[in-house]
Amino acid sequence: MSFQLTILGSSSATPTSQRNPTAQYLTIHDRHFLIDCGEGTQMQLRKYKLKFTRINHIFISHLHGDHYLGLQGLLSSLHLLGCTQDIHLYCPKPLKEIIDLQLLHSDTHLKYSLKYHFLNTSEKELIFEDDKVLVESIPLNHRIPCCGFIFKEKPGLLSIRKEMIEFHSISTKDILRIKKGEDYHTKEGKVIKNKVLTYPAESLRSYAFCSDTCYDERILPHIKKVSLLYHEATFLKNLEKRALETFHSTAEQAAIIAKKAQVDKLLIGHFSARYKDLKPLLDESKTVFKNTELACEGLVVEL
Amino acid sequence: MSFQLTILGSSSATPTSQRNPTAQYLTIHDRHFLIDCGEGTQMQLRKYKLKFTRINHIFISHLHGDHYLGLQGLLSSLHLLGCTQDIHLYCPKPLKEIIDLQLLHSDTHLKYSLKYHFLNTSEKELIFEDDKVLVESIPLNHRIPCCGFIFKEKPGLLSIRKEMIEFHSISTKDILRIKKGEDYHTKEGKVIKNKVLTYPAESLRSYAFCSDTCYDERILPHIKKVSLLYHEATFLKNLEKRALETFHSTAEQAAIIAKKAQVDKLLIGHFSARYKDLKPLLDESKTVFKNTELACEGLVVEL
């Protein structure tokens, strides 16, 4: 089952000719999520041949333009391409007014229904759940209300050991119970522990997206041991003061968070336009947390 | 003196991976004008190495997203880059509310002053004038209120024939009068006609931008004999019915307008995403009006 992230934008507030503002495309078990939607996102989706008509859940972390100004254009294109399925939008409440005003003045009546889910930017919340995936929002510490998002795979059925089915002559009904994690009771009244009957469960994959934030250890319990963490790293360490003033982080700070949260892998992004060469940011992060990668346009991470 | 147009976007409502929505950069005598500002305009300006901090007059034809959704990002970048000079925005009135709402929720207080000039979309108006250039708006026939813009060079001083200065011993004061177009009165009371004293005036250059519009001959008197006409050509002739329904034009219709208005040169653009190859659009237009060119990204026209 796939769990794949594609980076569409790596720049901070002012894009460059090489770097687009924040947007990421996440596929988990045939669910297609868009995370933030900076200006130019629909062109980036086309560039990387990602069918944007598949997207029906869009998550917007906050209302700084570099995180949402591509949304109105994307919504318009989805309309013009004839999409009719519901689009779910998880976003700060004022975004509805902004979208409605622009639809009004362009005299656009969307062919699909836009379902709003307003974010609580002060505490962790479960915002999406189906049989295989759940998504939580967590508060981040930024200049305006801002959320991060954690995407988690849910446990599926266990794989049962074939030889055990034969040995105990287990019925189909009981097989399902065992796959769900129950122990087995033989006709003779003996209890066979589930872990003897099944293969160890695969570890569940998870992705935490920490959009714009200053260094804040309060996020640690929420992102603890995730498989993949994206944490912004707008500046190098020598601009730590500037980072704090603008509620952003340095590459070193992103790495400290990754280390303390014991995550498997770290992606850093949201790079200031001042850095033509990103290697110093990568090096700074790797000094603290070795398994770091730059979240550059076109990067695909398969978990 | 320069009169140079650069095309930044040629697509209609849904951009493609190759074509950006409408935006054009026009330089006349060191004045830098931006005409429409579709999503991604700031990245296109960077791509073509056009310094966008020089732009201080922005003209928005109408409030369909493909003509203005890049504006909020550009205004934000101008702010972040420390621009402090006034920016003049010529636009439909509701755009102010849209911009203000987005500035409010991103908690952005622009470092420069945004001077609004609301467009009259029902009749021709002079909207900008200085010593060398004037700009007029003209009503277009589109699904929502929409304006075209005409940029005109104003007559400058004439060039005086040196041998005439010597022959008549003309004073400095009189030279200026002659350069402004007056006749010369000799000490003996004789009148020397201005055209004898000066070289013929250079012909004045002009550019008409006709954004989204269906075929409408009411624009002809306004654009008569302009040096360069941009007219939208969303569809080929076989989709003329579709063009009319959506208040757009075909390539042939754009060419008929160019021919009837006796313009020097025609640019066609705003191409539907359905056309991978644009040659049929060019051919269709050239059949009626030979001096046609495709307004593709990166095209520079020097008048």
Instruction: Determine the residue of chain B that is closest to A108 in CA distance.
Output: B64
User: Using the beta-carbon criterion (under 8 Å), do B76 and A107 form an inter-chain contact?
Assistant: no
* Integer angstrom CA distances of residue A119 from A96, A223, B41, B148: 12, 18, 30, 41
pLDDT score at A240 = 97
pLDDT score at A41 = 97
User: Using the beta-carbon criterion (under 8 Å), do B73 and A65 form an inter-chain contact?
Assistant: yes
B16 interfaces chain A, CB cutoff of 8 Å: yes
Residue A269 main-chain phi, psi, to 5 deg: -160, -165
Mean pLDDT of chain B: 95
pLDDT in tens, chain A (303 residues): 799 999 999 999 999 888 999 999 999 999 999 999 999 999 999 999 998 889 999 999 999 999 999 999 999 999 999 999 999 999 999 999 999 999 999 999 999 999 999 999 899 999 999 999 999 999 999 999 999 999 999 988 889 999 988 888 899 899 999 998 899 998 888 999 999 999 988 889 999 999 999 999 999 999 999 999 999 999 999 999 999 999 999 999 999 999 999 999 999 999 999 999 999 999 999 999 999 999 999 999 999
Q: What is the DSSP letter of A27?
A: E
Is the pLDDT at B201 greater than 90? The verdict is no
B36 interfaces chain A, CB cutoff of 8 Å: no
Rg (CA), chain A: 22
Distance CA B303, CA B293 (A): 14
Which is nearest to B8 in space by CA: B297, B232, B301, B231? B297
Tell me: the pLDDT tens digits for B29-52? 999 999 999 999 999 999 999 988
Q: Which B residues 61-90 touch A at CB under 8 Å?
A: 63-66, 69-70, 72-73, 76-77, 80-81
CA atoms within 13 A of residue A63's CA, in its CB half-sphere:
22
Read off the pLDDT band of B216 (50, 70, 90).
very high
Q: What do you get for the CA distance between the two ends of chain B, in Å?
A: 10
pLDDT score at B191 = 92
User: Using the beta-carbon criterion (under 8 Å), do A43 and B98 form an inter-chain contact?
Assistant: no
Residues in chain A with CB shorter than 8 Å from the CB of B16 are 46
pLDDT score at B17 = 84
User: Using the beta-carbon criterion (under 8 Å), do A77 and B14 form an inter-chain contact?
Assistant: yes
Question: Å from B130 to nearest chain A CA?
Answer: 32
pLDDT score at B202 = 80
B92 interfaces chain A, CB cutoff of 8 Å: yes
Could you tell me the two tokens for B16?
């493609």
A204 interfaces chain B, CB cutoff of 8 Å: no
pLDDT score at B290 = 98
Interacting residues of A283 by C-beta distance below 8 A, sequence separation 6+? none
pLDDT score at B48 = 96
* More confidently predicted of B69 and B1: B69
Q: Look-up: residue for tokens 């714009």?
A: A212
- Residue A66 annotated as catalytic: yes
Chain A with chain B: Cβ pairs closer than 8 A? 106
ipTM above 0.85, yes or no: yes
User: Using the beta-carbon criterion (under 8 Å), do B42 and A39 form an inter-chain contact?
Assistant: yes
Mutant choice from B69, B211, B276 vs A, greatest count of A C-beta within 10 A: B69
Question: Å from A275 to nearest chain B CA?
Answer: 15
- β-bridge partners, B57: B33, B88
Residues B104-122: what's their mean pLDDT? 96
Q: What percent of chain B has pLDDT over 70?
A: 100
Which is nearest to B255 in space by CA: B288, B216, B297? B288
For B76, the closest of A65, A95, A97 (CB atoms) is A65
Look at B11-20, B122-131, B194-203 and tell me which has the smallest mean pLDDT: B194-203
Question: Å from B41 to nearest chain A CA?
Answer: 9
Question: Å from A43 to nearest chain B CA?
Answer: 6
Tell me: the pLDDT tens digits for B138-196? 999 999 999 999 999 998 888 999 998 888 889 989 999 999 889 999 888 899 999 99
Of A30, A36, A66, A100, which one is the catalytic site residue? A66
pLDDT score at A156 = 84
Residues B280-296: what's their mean pLDDT? 98
A206 interfaces chain B, CB cutoff of 8 Å: no
Tell me: the pLDDT tens digits for A210-235? 999 999 999 999 999 999 999 999 99
Residues B240-253: what's their mean pLDDT? 97
Task: Say which amino acid occupies A28.
Answer: I
Question: Å from B94 to nearest chain A CA?
Answer: 7
Interacting residues of B290 by C-beta distance below 8 A, sequence separation 6+? none
A94 interfaces chain B, CB cutoff of 8 Å: yes
Interacting residues of B293 by C-beta distance below 8 A, sequence separation 6+? B265, B266, B267, B268, B282, B299, B301
Domains of chain A with CATH codes? 3-155+208-302 (3.60.15.10), 162-197 (no CATH)
pLDDT score at B203 = 83
